[in-house]
Amino acid sequence: MSELLNVYTMNEISLNNRVVMAPMTRSRAYNLVPTDSMVTYYRQRATAGLIVSEGSPVSMEGRGQAYTPGIYTDEQIEGWKKVTEAVHGQGGKIFIQLWHVGRSSHIAHQPDGQAPVSSVSRIAEGCTTHIPGDNYQSVRAFHSQPRALTTDEIPRVTQDFVKAAKNAIEAGFDGIEIHAANGYIFEQFINGGLNDRKDRYGGNIANRLRFTLETVDAVSAAIGSHRTGIRIAPFGRLQDMHGFDDEEDTWLALGIEMRRRQLAYVHLSDQESLGAQAIPAGFLTKFRETYEGTLIIAGSYTQERAELALREGLADLIAFGRPFIANPDLVKRMKNGWPIAVPDKNTFYTGQDGGYIDYPMYNVD
């Protein structure tokens, strides 16, 4: 019997299976608004137990990648409504990932060309992003010099997430996922190797977690904790993140706080498949013992590894990223033991329909 294909109830939300489509930036929103092609893309993949959308910036300030759809204007809300209606029409569930990249940005993305914001004014060394180019093609550019948010500014960013969460519910999403992984704004505060602030948002573990927890609480109060999830990447090294002395204790402390809040889920990402450091052996077991709610894990899982993780009780749901790109019918392929197609990396961020909505369903003939 397949654990992966069994139904699951996620804090009041019923899922048809335990397969999660992981959030993946695809850079198809030319005008920063969801397109008809995006409607098709998500509809095609709606047999996943849960879809987590691509990262959707909560404000212009939060932007850091070219052609990503936001969730801060009326036009964007209307565009996302078409996506959620399409997914629900196929019997699926969909959360939106709320995104603020912090310093991982370029002045080309920022209002009036201002500096990106972060916990500190230190640039992410050697890191690049994509900025808009000619003919909807993106151009790679190094991050711009950031500025540190003042203490009084931080609640404003939290309110940007609250507003975006309310917009998401208006757009028909079943819930939201706060992106606190991959070296973006929240991790820029959590990481003790970067955050050297002297105010209440820096220093000890409680202070470094404060911004994240304040935002989780404010969003939960606005839309309900059962519709609020969070993605983290313990020991993550993307976007020039570095190790620090109390690293394991920091992430386990966050797990304790998430357990108290009874969220929809915690989504834990292992970045080894992205060329970064893997989560140390044994940590997942420790986190599972600390956080008792619904846990999603992601990290280049195959169906076989996913089934094993579920049987061993390491997680409740398994997220798959790239397999969903070339296999819109991934769940059906898993159910029937059909081959899993390999996506074309050259079309991940092209802005075209090719390599986006033209991957075929499996033909049994």
Active site residues: 184
Q: Which candidate, 238, 229, 245, places its Cα nearest to that of 319?
A: 229
Helices (H) and strands (E) in the chain, counts: 10, 14
> What is the rounded distance in angstroms from the CA atom of residue 219 to the CA atom of residue 231?
14
> What is the rounded distance in angstroms from the CA atom of residue 231 to the CA atom of residue 14?
20
Element containing residue 9 per DSSP (H, E): strand 8-10
> What is the rounded distance in angstroms from the CA atom of residue 296 to the CA atom of residue 357?
26
Q: Which candidate, 78, 38, 37, 32, places its Cα nearest to that of 56?
A: 32
Q: Dihedral sign, CA of 301, 305, 310, 312?
A: negative
User: Which residues have CB under 8 Å from 304's CB, separation 6+?
Assistant: none
> Tokens 């709606």 appear where?
46
